[in-house]
Amino acid sequence: MNATGKLGTHKADELLELFREEYDRPLRPLFYHHARVIETVHMFELLKELMDNPELYEGEYLAEPDGMRLERGVGGLEAPRGVLFHDVRAVEDNGTVRVAKFNIITPTALNAAAMEADLRAYLIGKNVKALGDQGLYAAVSSIIRSYDPCMACATHSVNRIGGFKIAIVKNGKEVKTISL
């Protein structure tokens, strides 16, 4: 939503224009849900165009892997939570191809600093006692949820299932903790 002028379909461009009239750029992740609605409308408009095209139903669909090399591949793509990067290295052992290295840099990892910055921007100067535990939880969770973090994806594993902890730190000391 920050990088494009128009999406190129009627209804999605109409929604994008209304969205931009309401909010300035650059858009923050707090607007992800709004952006996803516009992108979903755009996707369905594109799918309808494709499905109405008779050429879609003709020709070969299988790509032959001629000339593939066993090396390293790095790529990035837009995923629902943000940009997702892959770094893959394949090797051949006794005629069998195996993945020797597979690294993923997830949107959650990329967004960690922005999540913290948004929390700081919202909470600094607020009287957290006046918010109460429920109010504080609601504020913090609404900010974090706008980024839609996936900690299992970000860490590549889940070692234990744990709760959610909010720590209020003042002058380097933890003054209040809420564990859920």
Q: C-alpha distances in angstroms, 112 versus 47, 82, 122, 149?
A: 33, 12, 16, 9
124 is in an annotated binding site: no
153 is in an annotated binding site: yes
Can you read off the two tokens belonging to residue 14?
Answer: 């109409």
Question: Are the CB atoms for 1 and 16 separated by under 8 Å?
Answer: yes
Question: Are the CB atoms for 123 and 153 separated by under 8 Å?
Answer: no
Dist CA 16 CA 1 (whole Å)? 8
Dist CA 160 CA 56 (whole Å)? 47
How many residues belong to the chain?
180
Can you read off the two tokens belonging to residue 179?
Answer: 């564990």
166 is in an annotated binding site: no
34 is in an annotated binding site: no
Please give the annotated binding residues for Ni(2+), written as ranges.
Answer: 150
Please give the annotated binding residues, written as ranges.
Answer: 104, 150, 153, 156
Please give the annotated binding residues for Mg(2+), written as ranges.
Answer: 104, 156
Please give the annotated binding residues for Fe cation, written as ranges.
Answer: 153
